Amino acid sequence: MKIFVIGGGAREHALVWKIKQSPLVEKIWCAPGNPGIAQLAECVDIAADDIPALLKFAKEQAIDLTVPGPEAPLVKGLADEFEAHGLSVFGPSMDAAELEGSKSFAKYFMDKYKIPTADCIVFQDYDEALEYVRQADYPCVVKADGLAAGKGVVVAHSVQEAEEALQRMMVSKEFGEAGGKVVIEEFLEGEEVSVFAVSDGDNFVMLVPAQDHKAVYDNDEGPNTGGMGAYAPAPLMNRDLLKSVKREIVEPSIRGMSLENRPYIGVLYVGLMITPKGAKVLEYNCRFGDPETQVVLPLLASDLVDLMQKAVTRQIIDYQVELRKKWALTVVVASGGYPGTYETGKKISGLDEINDPDIIVFHSGTKMSDEGVVTSGGRVISVTALHEDLRTAREKVYATVQKITFDGAHYRKDIGYKAFRHLR
Q: Which of 1, 24, 47, 155 binds ligand AMP (CB under 6 A)?
A: 155
Q: Name the binder of 335 from ligand AMP, ligand GLY, none, CB < 5-8 A by kind.
A: none
Output 235 or 289, the one with its CB closest to ligand GLY.
289
d(CA 35, CA 367): 6
Residues 257-276 that bind ligand AMP (CB under 6 A): 271
Q: Which of 153, 159, 321, 399 binds ligand AMP (CB under 6 A)?
A: 153
- Residue 46 has phi, psi (to 5 degrees) of -130, 135
Q: Which of 51, 87, 89, 141 binds ligand AMP (CB under 6 A)?
A: 141
In angstroms, give the least distance from the CB of 156 to ligand AMP: 11
Residues 163-192 that bind ligand AMP (CB under 6 A): 185-188, 192
d(CA 113, CA 107): 10
Q: Which of 65, 106, 133, 282 binds ligand AMP (CB under 6 A)?
A: 282
Q: Which of 181, 213, 214, 363 binds ligand AMP (CB under 6 A)?
A: 214
CB 146 within 8 A of CB 152: yes
Q: Name the binder of 35 from ligand AMP, ligand GLY, none, CB < 5-8 A by kind.
A: none
In angstroms, give the least distance from the CB of 316 to ligand AMP: 26
121-130: Cβ within 8 A, 24+ apart: 121/183, 121/184, 121/185, 122/181, 122/182, 122/183, 122/184, 123/181, 123/182, 123/184, 124/180, 124/181, 126/166, 126/170, 126/171, 129/166, 129/170, 129/182, 129/184, 130/163, 130/166
Residues 97-136 that bind ligand AMP (CB under 6 A): 118
Distances (CA, A) of 208 to 14, 301, 397: 15, 11, 20
Output 271 or 408, the one with its CB closest to ligand AMP.
271
Interface with ligand GLY: number of residues (CB under 6 A): 6
For residue 88, give every residue at least 6 positions away whose Cβ sits within 8 Å of its Cβ, in sequence order, or none.
64, 65, 66, 82, 312
d(CA 85, CA 361): 36
Output 152 or 162, the one with its CB closest to ligand GLY.
152
d(CA 163, CA 131): 10
Distances (CA, A) of 106 to 96, 170, 213, 284: 10, 20, 24, 7
Output 70 or 201, the one with its CB closest to ligand AMP.
70
276 to 315: interface string for ligand GLY, x by CB under 6 A: ---------x---xx-x-----------------------
Residues 205-234 that bind ligand GLY (CB under 6 A): 212, 227
Q: Name the binder of 118 from ligand AMP, ligand GLY, none, CB < 5-8 A by kind.
A: ligand AMP
Tell me the HSE value of 344 on the side-chain side, using a 13 A CA sphere.
15
Q: Name the binder of 390 from ligand AMP, ligand GLY, none, CB < 5-8 A by kind.
A: none
Output 202 or 414, the one with its CB closest to ligand GLY.
414
Question: E-strand spans in 306-354?
Answer: 327-334
Distances (CA, A) of 289 to 209, 213, 230, 253, 343: 11, 12, 10, 18, 25
Does residue 49 bind ligand GLY (CB under 6 A)? no
d(CA 69, CA 63): 16
Output 133 or 234, the one with its CB closest to ligand GLY.
234
In angstroms, give the least distance from the CB of 22 to ligand GLY: 24
d(CA 365, CA 216): 17
Interacting residues with ligand AMP (CB under 6 A): 118, 141, 143, 153, 155, 185-188, 192, 214, 271, 282-283
Contact positions vs ligand GLY (CB under 6 A): 212, 227, 285, 289-290, 292
